Each structure stands twice: as structure tokens, then as C-alpha cells.
């Protein structure tokens, strides 16, 4: 890690803001740490949300294989600011309601195709909100899924190419469309 | 107070990048040397707990908990700070100081100091940097010039291993280089565009303290080839980059002349009124709070720039009531730093068929092109620019595309666009009003007065920053970048981790504290060779100059010692 990476972390280059970053930028009040912020039934829901965003395919495992539910719980519980935690928990409620409203059953009872159909418009909504500088709860699920998946062992080693000890640096090698990116 | 039985010829306060060099040179010259380090011991390889950890083995995947950030708003800002490196940084609550003006004082208290987490850039100063402050009227004359330091740069470069290319650039003299790290394809393009469109500018390979091809002297240190992991700041199990812990300290230890005492914070230097020399140092054991006196004929202060100021300011005697050697009242003043606020970045279209193997731990350098031979701008001083191009996993898809599901997963598993970035490292003017001093009433847990920082930016900095952002944008446009963004981080001084001065070298004891051999003008057996000795800041990364000045001063001290003059 060098100063180049420090620049990237601030989002100055890619323009991405890490949710939870507000904490170390501005400081924030201590959360009311209630045990069971995220429940066991939430965990199963988070796994399936993650799997719908990044499903297992013939090319690589899905987010569930990466233990995405547990990862989200860990980050939200220990790293998110209280307001962000609240938005995240409320978001889970909204997803459940949406499933009931649109399909007449719980999210866990939906087929993979129904789940996909439910989340597709949500993702659009979230991206529109982000364009207006707002944080939609779905952006949290998605960002955590991407982060947790690609930094997990299955994500880093199977979806990406992982080589912790390259041995040397070669500046220019060919890249063909479809080649996996290097994991970091 | 206790007086330990061991006898030492020399005491080195601090085990970081310059303290390690003082220890190596003094021990090699046969002086029994005591190194005092306020933090814990760190042993090469053994004490790098995260060095071989995978990303998924970190609970928060590289980040820290909210609670940690809440408790450590200062240290968590440091470049390179993360779950993998946190053990090489202090925690805020343990080491308070007073910010009269905002100043981010980044510290690493352990054997090896910040040499474990340094940026590793190793450009030499040009003679223009030594002469410009006096020439353009923004500083006093240095008592030495490039020719005095050049052989010591070579001495250091050969031992630590610095990669790079001999480019024949006036702003950045060539050194003793190991083979360079490659440019990637986009950096080759940048290099060509700079050559074509900016004939007075030079974009060159990184000059970085990495063993791209180790030589015999490096193998003798037990160090090996850089593996291109770019996980340096965790401590490198291969010894691929230089640190005191992997190199100078074990080397000094092999002579049998080295003693390292960790957990030893130096309270003050003791002055003997009869001899007119320093007699030793007062040390407090950080764990037991016991006080010790260590005596020696030579004392090197390498406690890090601001802590060296603190120790001298706290070294009071009836001869020196305002700090050791401080008759002129300038101790702690003229603190400089590097202007790091500006960065420019943009997307580089094309080059989709090229990629890289391994992780480059270094960055190409665009040598200073401002005010080199005379003042040409509406500001004084110059800036070095670090830059590069990178290609990561794809983060963004066109808005029209579906962004969840199988196809999305495959798309974001591929490489994304190329991006180019530049950031500045600018010279600042050492000013009397930019100073540190001791708090009159606040003390740390060892009873040592807290340091107060009163250091800020000035108009010169703002003008230089504006120029960098403008020139950076113009260069990125010439490269063919789109979505160009300029940024002023607005960060406080200090976060550059290049704080210097306060005990500056000079020709005249009336306006400086140290002479041309880094001896206190008024107490000749005390040497200051860390960042505190700097007369001006230049625009190069300073660590290698500290190392060269240290080696030069230590060899002088050893000679004087042997001839009975010290």
C-alpha cells in the first residue's frame, strides 16, 4: 500500500464513496449496541439477496458461497454508523414487504427468477438515488455484496485471479476480453 | 534515579530510518553504541504478524471497526494505515499533543519506527534545492551543497538498494541504481507524451528502495528480491524493501557493538557545565516509569523531526535555560513540511488489450520543472509529481446495462478502464512563525511536557497548489484522459509525514542550531541528523537525505572520537 492507494481510498479517483466512511471522516456518535441487531432470519435473507446480486454460475461461485450474510452482519454491526445501521435494517423490512406486496409471499419463498425480478427495479432506483447524492438501502446491500464477495476466498481465487506473491512485476502483458481481473 | 553499569561510546536516540543508519555506521567504526527506542522491539520477519495474511483473513477486510476510527481519528488518516498495518502506528490516546493550529502528527513507535511504513521514494536532492532558498530569498544558506552529500548518497544507495534509471536530469541527480520497475503500457504512453509536448519535463521510472535484483551486499543482509506484492507496509518477509529492522539494525548488531533498549523514552539530554559537553541522556522506562541516566561521549538525536525538537526544548540547564544549544531562540522554529494537497486523475480511454503482472510497489516520477535555476513563477520553490496508470477490476458499467445477476458478476470480474493519477509533493517555506514548543502545563504519562504545534499553510502554498492543478490537468488532457478531476484534499500539514526543521543547519550560529556536520553549534558532541536538521524542505522525498546526512555525520563523529576531540 502506498500513497497512490491512499488517494483511491478517499474516493478521489474512482468517485466511489464507501458507506461507513463518514465515521472516520467526521467522527460519529457511539451506537446503541443492541445485541441481535441482525437476526438469524435476517442472515438467511442477506445470503439470498447477495446470491441474487452475484449468483453462482458455471464460471464462479456465488455470494452465498462467500458467506456474504455473515460478512454483511459483521460490517453493519461493527463498522456502520447508527443512522446507516437503521437504514440497513429498515431496508430489510422494505424488501420483505415488497415481496409480499408483489408476489404475495415472503422473499425466502420466491424463486431465483422472482427474486431477480424484485431486485432489478430496486437497483435502478438505487442508482438513480446515488446520482442525486442519496444513499438508497439497496446500495448498501449491493456494495457490501461486491466488497465481501471479491475479498472472500471463493471470490478472490475463483471469480478473479489471486496471486499474493507474484515474484516480479511485468508492466505490459496482453489482456483478452473475458480475462479475469487480478484480485487485491 | 539509576546509573546503569554498561559503558557506551555513543547513544542514538531513535531506531527509525536515520537512527538505524547512525547505529550501523558508529558500530562499524567500533563504537559501543546504545540505541534507545521508546516503543517495543520489532524483529525482522518474526514481528510482521499480517505479512502473509489473505484479504479474507481480516475481519473487516482491511478496514477497522467504527469504534477504532472513533478513538483514532488522527492516526487512521495516515497513508497506508489499515487493519494490515495498524500495529506499526501509535494509537491517538496514548500520545497526545496540542494543536494550536491543525497538524496531523503521524507516529510509529517501535524499533524501526516509520522506516517500516515509509513511502520508499529515494530521489536525490539537486544542488539547486540546496541553493534556491537563499538564491530566491526565502531561506538561509545551507552550510553544505550537493557535492558534500553525493558520496554519502552513493554509500546509502548501494547498501539499501534503490531501483531506477540514470536519466541525466538536472532537477534529480542520478544515483547508484538497481534495475527499474517497468512502466505499464499506459505509463509508456504518458512518458512519450511528456517527451513530445513538454520538452522541459521528465517522466522517469521510480527511484524506490526496493531490491529488484539484489546484489551481494543485500544478500549478506539476509534480504532478497522484491516479490512485487505491494504489501510493503506490513513488513516484508523477503526484505524486499529497506527498513531499519530488515537492514541497518541487524547489520549493526553483527559487529557486537550494538545494544538496543526498547521501551525507553528520552526525557532530555544532560549538559555538563564544566566540560561544555553533553554527558548523556535521561531516560524513562515507558512501562515501569523508572528513570535512568545513560552516559556517552557522542549523542545522536534521531527521534523523528518533532520529537528531536521536543527533547532539545526539554533539555534545560543553567547554561541553556531555553533548550540545549538554543541561545538564538530559534529552536523549534522554521518547521517545514511538504505540500501534498493536490491530486489530479482521469480515465484513460483505450489500452483495453494491455494489462500487467504483479503489483508495482513504486510510482513513476515527474521531476520538478518549476523555479529550478531561477524564480520564474509567482511562487517560490518547486514540486515533484508522482504519477501512474492503473487498471483494476471493473467498477462501473454503462447505466443502460443490467447491474445485478450472472452477466453482471462476469462483467465486474473482468478488468475495467485505465485511470491516470498525479499528486504533488511541494516545497514549503520554512518560516519563523511555523513552530513547535512545549506546553507550559500539559504533560504526558511520563511527565514530559506535551508538544504544541503551530504550523500552517501560506499564500505560497496556495499558488503552488493552483499551478500544480492547472499543469496536471493540462498534462492529463494531453495524455487523452477524459473525466478529469482535480482535488484539493484540504489536509492539515503533517499528514504528508514529511515534517522537518526546527533544529536547522547553517553557517552562522546566530541564525541556525547545527553546523555543517550536524553538530549543535554550542554543544559539539550532540548531533541531529533526522528531519529536524533540515534548513529547507526541497521537493524530493526526504528520507534518503536523512540517511546520507546521518552516515556522513556518524563517520565524522567516529573520526573525531578516535582522535580524542569528542
For the stretch A84-87, contacts whose Cβ atoms lie closer than 8 Å and that sit 24 or more positions apart, written own/partner, are A84/A19, A84/A20, A84/A22, A84/A135, A84/A140, A85/A31, A85/A37, A87/A135, A87/A137, A87/A140
pLDDT of residue A7: 58
Closest residue, chain A, to B184 (C-alpha): A171
pLDDT of residue B396: 85
Tally A–B CB contacts below 8 A: 220
Looking at residue A31, what is its pLDDT? 42
Domain ranges of chain A: 32-159
Give domain status of residue B126, yes or no. Answer: no
Q: Which residues in B lie closer than 8 A to residue A130 (C-beta atoms)? A: none
Our count of domains for chain B comes to: 1
Query: Is the minimum CB–CB distance between B393 and chain A shorter than 8 Å?
Result: yes
pLDDT of residue B286: 98
Structural domain including B550 reads 10-43+111-120+235-336+499-562
Cα of A82 to nearest chain B Cα, Å: 10
pLDDT for res A28: 40
Q: What pLDDT digit, counting tens, does each position of B174-203 carry?
A: 999 999 999 999 999 999 999 999 999 999
What tens digit of pLDDT does each residue of B270-313 get?
999 999 999 999 999 999 999 999 999 999 999 999 999 999 99
d(CA B55, CA A163): 12
A window 111-170, beta carbon within 8 A of B: 116, 119-120, 123, 127, 142, 146-148, 150-153, 156, 159-160, 163-170
Which segment of B105-109, B200-204, B397-401 scores lowest on mean pLDDT? Answer: B397-401
* pTM, to two decimals: 0.95
Where residue B447 falls (left for φ over 0; alpha for ψ -120 to 50; beta otherwise) is left
Q: How far is A37 from chain B (nearest CA, A)?
A: 15
CB contact under 8 A, B413 and A166: no
Residues 159-218 of B with CB under 8 A from A: 181-185, 187-188
Mean pLDDT value across residues B57-77 = 97
Indicate the residue of A7, A28, A79 with minimum beta-carbon distance to B421: A7
- The partner residues of B335 in beta bridges, in order of sequence, read B431
Query: What is the complex's ipTM, to 2 decimals?
Result: 0.94
pLDDT, tens digit (0-9, with 9 covering 90-100), for B213-246: 999 999 999 999 999 999 999 999 999 999 999 9
Let me know the angle formed at the C-alpha of A175 by A173 and A177, rounded to the nearest 5 degrees. Answer: 175
Question: Which parts of chain A sit beneath pLDDT 50?
Answer: 1, 9-17, 21-35
Residue B510 belongs to a domain: yes
Q: For B56, which of A53, A55, A152 is closest by C-beta distance?
A: A152
Q: What is the rounded distance in angstroms from the CA atom of residue B557 to the CA atom of residue B110?
A: 26
CATH number at residue B302: 3.50.50.60
Band of pLDDT at residue B6, cut at 50, 70 and 90: confident
Residue B509 counted as domain residue? yes
Cβ-nearest to B70 among A30, A165, A180: A30
What number is the average pLDDT over the span B93-103? 98
In B, which residues are within 8 Å of A126 by CB distance? Answer: none
At B137 the three-state DSSP class reads coil
Closest Cβ–Cβ partner in A1, A123, A166 for B233: A1
Residues from chain A that touch B489, judged by Cβ atoms under 8 A, are 10, 12
* Amino acid A51: pLDDT: 98
Task: Map grid coordinates 467504527 to a residue.
Answer: B66
Q: Do A181 and B415 count as a contact with CB atoms less than 8 A apart? A: yes
Amino acid at each position: 500500500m502506498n500513497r497512490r492507494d491512499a488517494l483511491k481510498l478517499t474516493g478521489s479517483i474512482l468517485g466511489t464513496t464507501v458507506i461507513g466512511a463518514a465515521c472516520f471522516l467526521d467522527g460519529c456518535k457511539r451506537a446503541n449496541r443492541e445485541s441481535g441487531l441482525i437476526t438469524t432470519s435476517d442472515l438467511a435473507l442477506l445470503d439470498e439477496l447477495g446470491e441474487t446480486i452475484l449468483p453462482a454460475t458455471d464460471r464462479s461461485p456465488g455470494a452465498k458461497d462467500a458467506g456474504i450474510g455473515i460478512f454483511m452482519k459483521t460490517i453493519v454491526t461493527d463498522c456502520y454508523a447508527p443512522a446507516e445501521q437503521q437504514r440497513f435494517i429498515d431496508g430489510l423490512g422494505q424488501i420483505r414487504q415488497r415481496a409480499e406486496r408483489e408476489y404475495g409471499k415472503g422473499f425466502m419463498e420466491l424463486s431465483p427468477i422472482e427474486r431477480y425480478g424484485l431486485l432489478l427495479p430496486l437497483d435502478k432506483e438505487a442508482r438513480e438515488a446515488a446520482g442525486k447524492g442519496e444513499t438508497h438501502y439497496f446500495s448498501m446491500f449491493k456494495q457490501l455484496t461486491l466488497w465481501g464477495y471479491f475479498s472472500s476466498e471463493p471470490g478472490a481465487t475463483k471469480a478473479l485471479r489471486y496471486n499474493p506473491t507474484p515474484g516480479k512485476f511485468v508492466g505490459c502483458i496482453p489482456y483478452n476480453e473475458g480475462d479475469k481481473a487480478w484480485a487485491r | 534515579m539509576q546509573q546503569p553499569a554498561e559503558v557506551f561510546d555513543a547513544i542514538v536516540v531513535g531506531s527509525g530510518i536515520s537512527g538505524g543508519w547512525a547505529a550501523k555506521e558508529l558500530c562499524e567504526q567500533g563504537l559501543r553504541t546504545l540505541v534507545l527506542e521508546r516503543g517495543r522491539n520489532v524483529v525482522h520477519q518474526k514481528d510482521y504478524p499480517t505479512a502473509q495474511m489473505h484479504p479474507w483473513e481480516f475481519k473487516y477486510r482491511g478496514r477497522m471497526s467504527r469504534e477504532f476510527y472513533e478513538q483514532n481519528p488522527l492516526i487512521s488518516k495516515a497513508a497506508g494505515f489499515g487493519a494490515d498495518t495498524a500495529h506499526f502506528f501509535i494509537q491517538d490516546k496514548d500520545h497526545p499533543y496540542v494543536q494550536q493550529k491543525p497538524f496531523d502528527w503521524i507516529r510509529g513507535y517501535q524499533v524501526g519506527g516509520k522506516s517500516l511504513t515509509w513511502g520508499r521514494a529515494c530521489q536525490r536532492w539537486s544542488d539547486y534545492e540546496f541553493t534556491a532558498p537563499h538564491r530566491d530569498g526565502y531561506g538561509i544558506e545551507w552550510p553544505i551543497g550537493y557535492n558534500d552529500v553525493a558520496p554519502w548518497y552513493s554509500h546509502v544507495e548501494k547498501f539499501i538498494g534503490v531501483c531506477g534509471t540514470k536519466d541525466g536530469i538536472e532537477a534529480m541527480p542520478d544515483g547508484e541504481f538497481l534495475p527499474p520497475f517497468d512502466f505499464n503500457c499506459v505509463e509508456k504512453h504518458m512518458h512519450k507524451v511528456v517527451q513530445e509536448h513538454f520538452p522541459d519535463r521528465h517522466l522517469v521510472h521510480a527511484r524506490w528502495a526496493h531490491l529488484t535484483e539484489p546484489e551481494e551486499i543485500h544478500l549478506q543482509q539476509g534480504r532478497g528480491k522484491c516479490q512485487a506484492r505491494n504489501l510493503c507496509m506490513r513488513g516484508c518477509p523477503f526484505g524486499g524493501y529497506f527498513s531499519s529492522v530488515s537492514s541497518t539494525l541487524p547489520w549493526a548488531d553483527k559487529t557486537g557493538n550494538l545494544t538496543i533498549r526498547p521501551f525507553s523514552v528520552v526525557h532530555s539530554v544532560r549538559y555538563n557545565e564544566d566540560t561544555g559537553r553533553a554527558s548523556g541522556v535521561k531516560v524513562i522506562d515507558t512501562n515501569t516509569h523508572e528513570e535512568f541516566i545513560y552516559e556517552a561521549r557522542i549523542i545522536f538525536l534521531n527521534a523523528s523531526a518533532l520529537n528531536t525538537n521536543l527533547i532539545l526544548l526539554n533539555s534545560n540547564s543553567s547554561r541553556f535555560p531555553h533548550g540545549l544549544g538554543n541561545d538564538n531562540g530559534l529552536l523549534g522554529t522554521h518547521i517545514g513540511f511538504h505540500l501534498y494537497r493536490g491530486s489530479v486523475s482521469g480515465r484513460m480511454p483505450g489500452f483495453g488489450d494491455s494489462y500487467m503482472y504483479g503489483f508495482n510497489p513504486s510510482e513513476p516520477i515527474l521531476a520538478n520543472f518549476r523555479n529550478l535555476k531561477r524564480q520564474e513563477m509567482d511562487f517560490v520553490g518547486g514540486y515533484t509529481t508522482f504519477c501512474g496508470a492503473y487498471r483494476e477490476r471493473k467498477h462501473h458499467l454503462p447505466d443502460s446495462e443490467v447491474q445485478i445477476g450472472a452477466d453482471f458478476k462476469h462483467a465486474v470480474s473482468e478488468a475495467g478502464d485505465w485511470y491516470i493519477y498525479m499528486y504533488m509533493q511541494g516545497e514549503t517555506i520554512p518560516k519563523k512563525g511555523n513552530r513547535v514548543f512545549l506546553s507550559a502545563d500539559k504533560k504526558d504519562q511520563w511527565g514530559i511536557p506535551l508538544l504544541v504545534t503551530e504550523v500552517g499553510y501560506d499564500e505560497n502554498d496556495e499558488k503552488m497548489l493552483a499551478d500544480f492543478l492547472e499543469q496536471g490537468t493540462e498534462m492529463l488532457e494531453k495524455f487523452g484522459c477524459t473525466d478529469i478531476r482535480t482535488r484539493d484534499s484540504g489536509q492539515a500539514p503533517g499528514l504528508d509525514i514529511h515534517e522537518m526543521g526546527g533544529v536547522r543547519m547553517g553557517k552562522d550560529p546566530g541564525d541556525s542550531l547545527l553546523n555543517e556536520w550536524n553538530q549543535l553549534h554550542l554543544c559539539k558532541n550532540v548531533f541531529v541528523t533526522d528531519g529536524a536538521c533540515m534548513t529547507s524542505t526541497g521537493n524530493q522525498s526526504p528520507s534518503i537525505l536523512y540517511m546520507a546526512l546521518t552516515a556522513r555525520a556518524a563517520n565524522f563523529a567516529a573520526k573525531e572520537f578516535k582522535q580524542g576531540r569528542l
